[in-house]
Amino acid sequence: MSDAASIRALGIDAGSTTMKMVGVDAEGALVWHALEEMDPRIEAQAERLLDVVRADGCPDSLPLIATGYGRRLITRADRKVTEITCHARGVHRELGHGGTLIDIGGQDSKVIVVSEEGKVVNFSMNDKCAAGTGRFLEVVSGRLRMPMDAFADTALAADGEVGISSTCTVFAESEMISLLAHGAPVERIVRGLHRSLVQRVSALARGAGLRPPVMLSGGVARSRAIRTLLAETLRQEIVLPRHPQLMGAYGAALLALGA
């Protein structure tokens, strides 16, 4: 039996930059997933992913919950649930404990305080400004023509840090250019840019009432530099789930299963 054949519920996370689909078996184990760049035709993309999972052997007519920015557009879903609830559920099941989940997504970041039972205790969101999100790293690394991995490695290899004072992605970009023009070493600037994002996210976490351990999810969790600087700034070890980008979709699938 293929993994897809054992799927008993599905979750879709239609995020701002990627769409994720997860299938769980009767015990709630994550047995299948897909991840794609976001297509502006959200509903059509969700249908396509459903075709893919069915082609893999997934049974028809399974319960489906949609979450994420585009959840309302997925009419096939039995229910729509916010990414806050879904992330909390997914990460709690995956790691087996509560704490503070920091999710740094493509266009927003959120902090969710999760109880030992997996319930949302409190949350705060940076949903108004790109400066504390993956978009910030994308813009500044793109400006320096560095792929994401190299960008993180450069930050970690730096022997110092240049402070970035701008609180806005656009201004941080111009500040970076001005610092380069004044001869500041690029690796120190890169570390400063990472620090700037981490500080913003840390402030959000403290505001929500940080409760250890700190867990990290979202696409940005893949950055080693962000993990290292976040641990340093919050003075907490950072716990990472196996699939940081899938926690929303996983939580949605678990809710669809009733687990």
For residue 121, what is the enclosing H or E element?
A: strand 120-126
Q: With respect to other proteins, which residue has the nearer C-beta, 54 or 206?
A: 206
Q: With respect to other proteins, which residue has the nearer C-beta, 129 or 146?
A: 129
Q: With respect to other proteins, which residue has the nearer C-beta, 18 or 85?
A: 85
Size of the site for other proteins (CB under 8 A): 15
**173 makes contact with other proteins (CB under 8 A):** no
**210 makes contact with other proteins (CB under 8 A):** no
Q: Is 107 exposed, middle or buried (0-12, 13-18, 19+ CB in 10 A)?
A: middle
For residue 213, say if its preceding peptide bond is cis, omega within 30 degrees of 0: yes
Residues 113-142 that bind other proteins (CB under 8 A): 119-123, 125, 127-128
Q: With respect to other proteins, which residue has the nearer C-beta, 65 or 164?
A: 65
Site string for other proteins, 76-115 (x = CB under 8 A): -----xxxxx----------------------x-------
Measure the CA angle with vertex 119, ends 82 and 76; round to 5°. Answer: 30
Helices (H), 2-116: 42-55, 83-95
- SS3 state of residue 101: strand
Q: With respect to other proteins, which residue has the nearer C-beta, 125 or 239?
A: 125
Measure the CA angle with vertex 176, ends 173 and 177; round to 5°. Answer: 90
**69 makes contact with other proteins (CB under 8 A):** yes
Question: Which one, of 222, 226, 257, lies nearest residue 242 by Cα?
Answer: 222
Residues that bind other proteins (CB under 8 A): 69, 81-85, 108, 119-123, 125, 127-128
